[in-house]
Structure 1
Amino acid sequence: MQLAVRIVATCIGLAALSVAQAATTVLTNFTLIDGTGRAPVPDSSLIVENGHISWVGPHSSLKAPSGATVMNLSGKFVIPGLIDNHVHLGLVHDLTQDIKFYSRELVEQQLRTYAAYGITAVQVLGTDTDVIFGIRADQRKAQSDFARVYTSGQGLVFKTSYGGVAGLNKPVANVTEARRAVDEQVAKGVDFIKLWVDDEFGDLPSRMPPDISKAIIDQAHKHGLHAIAHIFYLENAKTLASQGVDGFAHSVRDAPVDQALLDDMKRHDIVQLAATLSREASFTYTKLPFLDDPFFNRAITPGALATLKSQERQQKLAAGKHFAQYPGVLDMALANTRREIEAGVRYGVGSDSGPSGRFSGHFLHWELELMVQAGVTPLQALTAATGTNAKLIGAKDLGTIEAGKTADLVVLDANPAADIRNTRTIHAVYVAGKSVPTIWSVCTGRAASECKGGSKGGAHGER
C-alpha cells in the first residue's frame, strides 16, 4: 500500500529479533492447529532448525536440542502461515491506482505488509510486470523477510472485454494471438495462466469468446500449467468447465449455480479458488465499517484514512452506476459459495486485495470471516487458507505444520477455531523460522507516539 513503513521498536520486537538470530528455536506449550483439518491439539511443541520444522508433537515428548532458544507459548495458538491465493501487487500508492507505481520497492513493501498480517505467501492473478520474476527468483534462492510470491505474470484479456490493467495486459483478438500470449508467459516462468471472461455488468462490448478461452486453456495444459478464469456469469462458468478450466477466481454472481455446473466441478475437480467475498462486500459500503480498528488502520497512511472517511468519497461511491447492484451480488456470491461447499466442491481462500480500496493483509482476515458466514466452520476456513491453499498454488513445503515443512508460522493469543476473528490476535509471525514484524509493531506514516496502544482485536476487540 505505501512505500514507507515505520517499525516501532518494542520489548516484544527486540525479543523476537533475538529468536530470529538463533539457528535452532523451540516453541513450547501451545495449542497446535496444523493446517490439515485435524482438531486443535493442546500441549504441543515444535523445533525449528535452519528455517524448517524438524519435529512437532506432544510437549511431553519434546527433546530440546542443546543451545536452542526456547520460547514458552503457554496459552497461545500456533497455525501455519496464512496464504492468500488471489491478490494483486504494486498497483496502488495510498488510494491511487496506476501501473506507473509498480516497482520492486513497492511490491516488497506490500509483501511485508502481508507478512505483518500473518500471510506468508500470496498468489498474484494476472497483473504483475516482469519485475516480479526477479523478486520471486531471489526469494527462492534465499528466503527474505516478507511473504512468498507466486505469479501468473500478465493474464489474458480479450480485446473488447473486461480484465487486466491498462498499459500492462495486452489484449488478444483471436485464437492465434491467444496461444502466442500463453507461450510468452510460459517462457517467463509463470506459475499458472490467468484469463478474464467478463463484460463488467454489460458495460463493455463483449466477453471473451469460447474459442479463445478454449485455446488458452488447452495451451496452458500443453505446458503443464493450470488455467484459472475470472468469471461472473453462470453461462460462462459452465462453458469454461466444459473446456477443462482448472479453477474459478471468483464465485458465479449473476444467478444460482445449478446442478449441472456443480456436477462438472466435482467430476473434473474444478476448484473454487477464491469466492472473494470481501471484494464483493467492500463494494456495498460507501464507508468501510472498520476504519477505526487499529488492526486495519495501522497499515495505511493518515492521508489515505482521511480520504476513506471523507464525505466526498462516500458521495462518489454512492453515485456509482452499479452501486445499488452490489448487495445482491454479495448475497448471490455467499449463496453460491454455500451451495458449492455443500455439494463437495474443493475450495480455497483469496481476497482479491491490492486494487484501490481493497487492502493487502486485512482483507484476507475479513474473507475468512465471510467464509464462515457462508457456511464453513472456522477450522474449515483455516484449513482452506493454509493446507488447501498450499496445494492449490503448488507450494508443497508450505501450508501445514509437519516435520520437514518450512517454518512459516503464526502465533495467536486466542483460539481461531472457536471464533475466526481470533486470527487477528497476532502475537508473532515467522517466515522460514525468522521472526518478522507483525501488524502490531507496524505503523505507516505516523510518529511512534501515535502508534502506541491498540487492541489485538479478535472476538472481543474493536471491530
Structure 2
Amino acid sequence: MTRYLFPLLLLIFKDSQAQYLPQAMALTNATIIDANHRTPLEHQTIIINKGRIAEIIPTGSKGLPDTVMVINLAGKYVLPGLIDSHVHLATDPSGVDGREHTLDVLQRMLYSGVTTVRDMAGDGRVLAGLSRDANLGIIVSPNIYYSALMAGAVFFSDPRTATSTQGGSNGHMPYMQAITDSTDLKIAVAQAKGSGASGIKLYANLSARQAEEIITEARRQQMPVWAHAWLQDAKPSDLVKSGILSLSHAPLLLRQKIPQIPAEWKKGTHPSSFWDNATPDLDSLFALMKQYHTILDATIFTYKDWADTDSTVRWDYETGRRLTARAYKAGVMICAGTDVDQKEFVQSEMQLLIKDAGFTTIDAIIAATRNSACALDLGARKGLVKVNMDADLLIVDANPIENIENIKKVFLVVKGGRIYGK
C-alpha cells in the first residue's frame, strides 16, 4: 500500500513547497549519470533505505517489497546532488546574511538541485546551527559543511572578520584564529575541530612554514585543510607540497610566477590574444598538483561577475579562465564553487567551465558532484549514484549531457533519502 503514496506527494508538491521522508523507496526506470556513468545507464532501479543507497539493479530484475514506495522515473535522469564547494552564508549574520535572507537562499538552492555546500569562512556559531538544522530536515537546505579560518594576525583588520565574530574576540574565536609563530597549533587545531568545522581554511599572511605546520597538525587530528591559492608569504607550490587538499581561486595561481600584477593589465581593454600571451605557463605547477592530488576550486564565475562591473579587475577573469582551462587539460581535478554570496548557484559555474574553460558537459557535471565531494573530503559518501552512498540525488526531466541547461529542469531532489519538490 505504501508504494502508492507518490501520486499524493505530487499533489502536495504541486501547490506548495514540501518534503517527505519515506522509510524506504525505489526509483524505477531511472537513467543514471555520474562520474562512473559518463554514458547514461538506462533502466535502473535505485533502492534507498534510511537515507542511503542500498541497492542498484536493472529495473524488473527482481520483485520489490510491498512496503517500499515506488517512484517511476521513466524518461527522467538521475544525477548525484550538486555540491557547491565555495559559498559564504554567514559573513555578516547581523546584516546582509540575516537569517530570513539566508534561509530563503538555502531553500532556493536545495530546490535547484544543490544538496551540499562548503562554507569557506563565516560566523561558526551561526553555521553550526544552520548545519544542524539542515542535517535534521528542520530547515529546507543543502547540508552545510563549514571551515574554521586561520590567517596571519594582520588579516584581522579586515572588517569581515569583525562582523563574523561579533560578541567575541576577533582573531581569537575557535572558528577564526590569528596565527603567529608562538601559537600552540595543537590547541588551535583542536579548537577549530571543536567548533564543529569540517576543515580548516588558510587565508592570508601565513608563511610556507606556518602553513605546513598547520597542515601537519590538522592531518594528525584528522581534519582536512583548504587554502587560498596564495597566502602572500606562501606560493601555490608551497601549499601543494605541504599536502593541502584544495586551492581556491584560479587567478591566485599567477603568484607562482608573478609577484606583482602588472599595471598594464588593469588599464584599458585588451584583446583575447593579449591575455593568451600574458597568462604564464604553469605546467610544472599543474604537474605538481596532479602528483599531490590537489584539487583546484577555480571559482571563475565570481571573477566574471566582478569583471562585468569593473574593468580594472578583468585580468582576474581573463587569466583565471585560461589557467582553469590549462589545469583541466593537464589533468588537475577541478571542483565547482561559486563564491558570489549566493547571487548565483553552482549551475552557473558549471556553465562557465564549459563555455570558458573547455570542459565537456559530463566533466562539468563531475566537477560539481564527485570532484566537489572530494574537495570536502567526502568522496566516500557523496558525489556518485552508488551503493552505500548518501541518497543525495538530482532528478531532471531532460538529459543534461546533451545540453547543460537541462540541469535546471528539476523534477525532484532527494537529500538523505528525503524527497523535496515544488
Same fold (TM over 0.5): yes
Checking the alignment, whether the CA contact within 8 Å between 2:80 and 2:384 is kept in structure 1 is yes
1:112-146: CA deviations, max 9, x gaps?
23211110011111223223224434555678642
Q: For residues 148 and 275 of structure 1, what CA distance do their matches in structure 2 show? A: 22
In the TM superposition, residue 216 of structure 1 has moved relative to its aligned partner by: 3.0
Shift of 1:54: 2.5
Choose 244-253 or 104-113, whichever is displaced more.
104-113
Q: What are the superposed Cα offsets for residues 240-285 of structure 1, whole Å, 9 maximum, x if unpaired?
A: 234333320111344535233122212222221x110111111122
| 257 and 185 in structure 1: CA distance in 2 versus 1, 3 angstrom threshold | farther
Q: Secondary structure at the match of 1:152?
A: strand
Structural mapping, 1:208-357, within 5 Å: 208-231=206-229, 236-253=235-252, 254=254, 255-272=279-296, 274-286=297-309, 323-354=310-341
Cα 1:100–1:216 change in 2 (3 A) is farther
Aligned mates of 1:67, 1:187 — CA distance in 2 = 41
1:64-75 equivalence runs, <5 A? 64-75=64-75
Q: Is the 8 A contact 2:86 2:117 kept in 1?
A: yes
Equivalent residues in 2 for 1:414-425, closer than 5 Å: 414-425=398-409
Q: Indicate whether 1:56 and 2:60 are aligned.
A: no
The 2-side partners of 1:24 and 1:173 are apart by 48
Q: Distance in 2 between matches of 1:38 and 1:216?
A: 38
User: Is the partner of 2:124 in helix, strand or coil?
Assistant: coil
Q: Is the 8 A contact 2:19 2:420 kept in 1?
A: no
SS at match of 1:252: helix
Relative distance call for 1:402 and 1:31 in structure 2 (3 A) is: same
TM superposition shift of 1:420: 1.6
Equivalenced residue count is: 374
Distance 2:157 2:280 in 1: 22
Alignment of 1:318-397 (within 5 A): 323-354=310-341, 358-359=342-343, 362-373=344-355, 374-395=357-378, 396-397=380-381
Question: Alpha-carbon deviation of 1:385?
Answer: 1.5
Q: Which runs of 5+ in 1 are unaligned?
A: 1-8, 92-96, 198-206, 287-322, 442-463
Paired with 1:17 and 1:433, the residues of 2 have a C-alpha distance of 17
Displacement after TM superposition at 1:328 (Å): 2.4
Moved over 4 A (4+): 14-19, 97-109, 137-145, 160-164, 232-235
Specify every segment of 5 or more residues in structure 2 that has no aligned partner in the other structure, as ranges: 1-8, 165-169, 172-176, 255-278
Deviations 1:91-130 (A, max 9, x none): 4xxxxx6655656665544332321111001111122322
* C-alpha contact (below 8 Å) 1:104/1:132 kept by paired residues: no
Relative to structure 1, the CA distance from residue 385 to residue 102 in structure 2 (aligned partners, 3 Å threshold; closer, same or farther) is same
The verdict on how the C-alpha distance between 1:343 and 1:79 changes in structure 2, with shifts beyond 3 A counting, is: same
Match of 1:192 among 193, 199, 204: 199
Compute the TM-score of the two structures, normalised by the length of structure 1.
Answer: 0.71
Distance 1:245 1:72, change over 3 A: closer
Work out whether 1:174 is the aligned partner of 2:169.
no
TM-score w.r.t. length of structure 2: 0.78
Q: Which amino acid aligns with 1:363?
A: F
Please tell me the residue identity of whatever aligns with 1:326. V
The amino acid across from 1:250 in the alignment is H
Helix, strand or coil at the partner of 1:406: coil
The CA deviation string for residues 414-463 of structure 1, in whole angstroms up to 9 with x for no partner, is 111112221111111111222224xxx4xxxxxxxxxxxxxxxxxxxxxx
| Paired residues of 1:117 and 1:426 also in contact (CA < 8 A) | yes
- Residue 184 of structure 1: CA displacement? 2.6
Preserved contact between residue 80 and residue 399 of structure 1 (Cα < 8 Å): yes
Alpha-carbon contact 1:126-1:164 (below 8 Å) kept: no
Shift of 1:350: 1.2
**1:70–1:172 CA distance, 2 compared to 1 (3 A):** closer
For the Cα contact (< 8 Å) 2:93–2:99, is it kept in 1?
no
Whether the 8 Å CA contact 2:224–2:377 is kept in 1: the answer is no
- After superposition, the Cα gap between the structure-2 partners of 1:196 and 1:74, relative to the gap in structure 1 and judged at 3 Å, is same
Q: CA RMSD in A?
A: 3.2
Aligned residues of 1:99 and 1:165 also touching (Cα < 8 A): no
Mean alpha-carbon deviation: is it higher for 188-197 or for 251-260?
Answer: 251-260
Which structure has the highest strand share of the two?
Answer: 2
Do 2:149 and 2:203's aligned partners in 1 also have CA atoms closer than 8 Å?
Answer: no
SS at the partner of 2:178?
A: coil
Identity of aligned residues (%): 25
SS of match in other structure, 2:182: helix
How far is 1:413 from its partner? Answer: 1.2
Per the alignment, residue 47 of structure 1 pairs with: 47
Equivalent residue for 2:33? Answer: 33
Q: How big is the shift at 1:17?
A: 8.4
Equivalent residues of 2:149, 2:202 under 8 A apart: no
CA distance in 2, matches of 1:73, 1:208: 51
Report if the CA contact (8 A) 1:104-1:135 is conserved. Answer: no
Name the amino acid aligned to 1:59.
T
Partners of 1:147 and 1:328 lie apart in 2 by 33
Distance 1:431 1:332 in 2: 36
